[in-house]
Amino acid sequence: MVLACLGVLLITSAAVAAAAFPDGLTQVDVAKQLKEELLGRNPGNEMLKSWNGEDPCSPSAWEGFSCQLKDGNRVVVKLNFSSKGLQGPIPTAIGSLAELTEIDLKDNNFTGSIPHSFSALTQLLKLSVICNPFLINKLPDGLSTGMNFSYGGCAAEDYHSPPGAAKERTFVISSVAGGSLACTFALGSFFICFSKREKRPQKTDCASTTNPVYEECSIEITTNPAVQQLSLKSIHNATGHFKTLIGEGGFGSVYQGTLAHGQQVAVKVRSPSSTQGTREFNNELRLLSAVWHENLVPLIGYCCEKDQQILVYPFMSNGSLQDRLYGEASKRKVLDWATRISVCIGAARGLVYLHNFAGRCIIHRDVKSSNILLDHNMCGKVADFGFSKYAPQEGDSNASMEVRGTAGYLDPEYYSTQVLSTKSDVFSFGVVLLEIVTGREPLDVQRPRSEWSVVEWAKPYIRDFRIEEIVDPGIKGQYCSEAMWRVLEVASACTESFSTFRPSMEDIVRELEDSLIIENNASEYMRSMESTGTFGSNRYLSIDRKMFGSGSARIDAAKFALDSARIDAGKGPL
Ligand SMILES: Nc1ncnc2c1ncn2[C@@H]1O[C@H](COP(=O)(O)OP(=O)(O)OP(=O)(O)O)[C@@H](O)[C@H]1O
Ligand SMILES: [Mg+2]
């Protein structure tokens, strides 16, 4: 019996070696070519090293290959090269394996596009290229339109799974960074890790989606040639061997450096203990390669060498908004009210861009003052999209369903329903607005219990028109009350418990722009009021909201001021 089996095996092997493939090659020839193509860019790859012998199906299948007996020949029917750390172009030789029904290339670093040779794969039912940050996802002409093609970001593996497939969900609620870690545990109800089964149908609109990072549409992601792959040596040179530490976050340490051509950079090095894995790294690479906006911190380069994962960004010389509000920098120089508003306008514009990105709708999920960076002109830019804190380690297939964010900024509705929408970013942005008004951290357990959460603490004061009691002492008496009120109204709307009552980022930008116009034109505004005899002469006179809250006098006065300011700024009246 054993001999008989061996005989069949030998005959089969010989038959396959001789069997002609469409382009006149044999399976052995194709396998050899495939191996050579991959070895060129992946010389030390463990999977490639394990491919012994000439025939990928005999005597036993090579790692990543599945074979089947067809017409007396053992032929390759499936390829699974997922998570093998492969780089370079996808081998064209794959297109000569004519019996292939499934190809899984997910979670690698393939570059270029899907080879045209794939159009010869007439049996192909499934192709996955998910989580290949530099791959252009366009299918070559000729591939069956009925084929199941999966592509997308690194945190969206199960987004394209067949409908109806039950999904295990793990909810990991992120905690506050650094010093606020203690309060993460104190606020037990916020920070629970549990698993549960997802039963809700998936939504496909941009405003509300179960895809946590971005929703794939038909537009392909193009790689960005401005993002360079850097060697570890050049990173060492740039940072003087990681000499100047500028910050620490969930990903790892951040160092200052200078590239060879003189550009100042911030270099983020993934720490071995980081809970953010390769998935987040790839996701950041992919998203940052695809999007560009002046209010987003762009990626300049990356390095994946010797187990190091490093991201390189332009250095934002004025640090983060958080640093400027209650970090060391705030002690040196207080950020004035107009600058606070203008920084937030910048960040809000960046978020509008993300929320409307080419039909994809990217949701940041970690909007907070430490992720709003300030360049040399004090222009606010959003950083760290594509990242999420406390991501599971590599290999966890449930990543896309996790509730993520930072405590104090996390949308309570998203937390309780697990339905993610752009309005979750809006909630977090509202918390940032409260930070710029109050100069307080979103969660601070050093304070009395009723003041732990800035949202809960500030709301009654806003409701009772007692804003002077919550305004940052550093800017007291140095702001125009009307501009302050407008920002607080936006902040209150953003932090509504129900997401439907929250404004869109576009509305927020408009409101903040108006506030800034009012703030910048406050002197003129007050002069106009003086000339009409409505108000006193102090620019920073506190306007009593109670007096005017519903009265026509205030509305008319404010509308008049705003219209004049808008016209000054080249815009039309409201
Ligand atoms: N491009 C940059 N330019 C200047 N400083 C930066 C830059 N990126 C980060 N930093 C500094 O490094 C600090 C840490 O940043 P990092 O993004 O790693 O952590 P975080 O934002 O505090 O937390 P998280 O990991 O949750 O995003 C920031 O607060 C900021 O001070
Ligand atoms: Mg950050």
pLDDT of residue 279: 66
29 annotated active-site: no
Least confident of 203-217, 218-232, 247-261, 529-543: 203-217
Query: Domain residues for 449?
Result: 321-568
Pocket test for ligand 1, best of 321, 368, 373, 377 (most atoms within 8 A of CB): 373
Same domain (yes/no): 499, 449? yes
| Cβ(28)–Cβ(19) below 8 Å | no
What is the C-alpha separation between 139 and 95, in angstroms, rounded? Answer: 13
Domain boundary among 260, 285, 314: 314
DSSP secondary structure string for all residues of 509-542: HHHHHHHHHHHHTHHHHHHHHHHHTSS-S-TTPP
In this structure, the residues whose C-beta lies within 6 A of any atom of ligand 1 are: 177, 246-251, 254, 266, 268, 297, 313, 315-316, 319-320, 322-323, 366, 370-371, 373, 383-384, 389, 406
Give the model's confidence band at 151: pLDDT under 50 very low, under 70 low, under 90 confident, else very high.
Answer: confident
Q: Residue 527: which residues within 8 A CB-CB, separation 6 or more?
A: none
Q: Which atom of ligand 1 is nearest to the CA of 323?
A: 31
Q: Is the pLDDT of residue 25 over 60?
A: yes
Q: Residue 47: which residues within 8 A CB-CB, separation 6 or more?
A: 63, 64, 81, 84
Same domain (yes/no): 382, 242? no
What is the C-alpha separation between 530 and 553, in angstroms, rounded? Answer: 14
Give the model's confidence band at 347: pLDDT under 50 very low, under 70 low, under 90 confident, else very high.
Answer: very high
| Cβ(176)–Cβ(446) below 8 Å | no
Residue 345 lies in a domain: yes
DSSP secondary structure string for all residues of 421-476: EHHHHHHHHHHHHHHHHH---SB-TTS-GGGSBHHHHHHHHHHTT-GGGTS-GGGT
Tell me how far the alpha carbon of residue 432 lies from the centroid of ligand 1, in angstroms.
16
Same domain (yes/no): 345, 425? yes
The more confidently predicted of residues 213 and 122 is 122
Same domain (yes/no): 392, 525? yes
Q: What is the pTM of this model?
A: 0.59
Q: Is the pLDDT of residue 457 over 90?
A: yes
Least confident of 100-114, 169-183, 268-282: 169-183
Domain boundary among 291, 314, 337: 314
Residue 328 lies in a domain: yes
In tens, the pLDDT along 80-111 reads 999 888 887 899 999 899 999 999 998 887 87
Residue 1 lies in a domain: no
Q: Which atom of ligand 1 is nearest to the CA of 268?
A: 18
Residue 543 lies in a domain: yes
Domain boundary among 124, 154, 184: 154
Place of tokens 């998910």: 130
Q: Quick one: tokens of 47?
A: 């999977």
Tell me how far the alpha carbon of residue 390 lies from the centroid of ligand 2, in angstroms.
13
Q: What is the mean pLDDT of the chain?
A: 74
The alpha carbon of residue 176 and the mean position of all alpha carbons in its chain are separated, in whole angstroms, by 18
What is the C-alpha separation between 255 and 268, in angstroms, rounded? Answer: 6
Same domain (yes/no): 290, 415? no
Q: Is the pLDDT of residue 227 over 50?
A: yes
Q: Residue 495: which residues within 8 A CB-CB, separation 6 or more?
A: 427, 430, 431, 434, 455, 459, 502
| Total number of domains in the chain | 3
Look at residue 148 and give its three-state secondary structure. Answer: strand
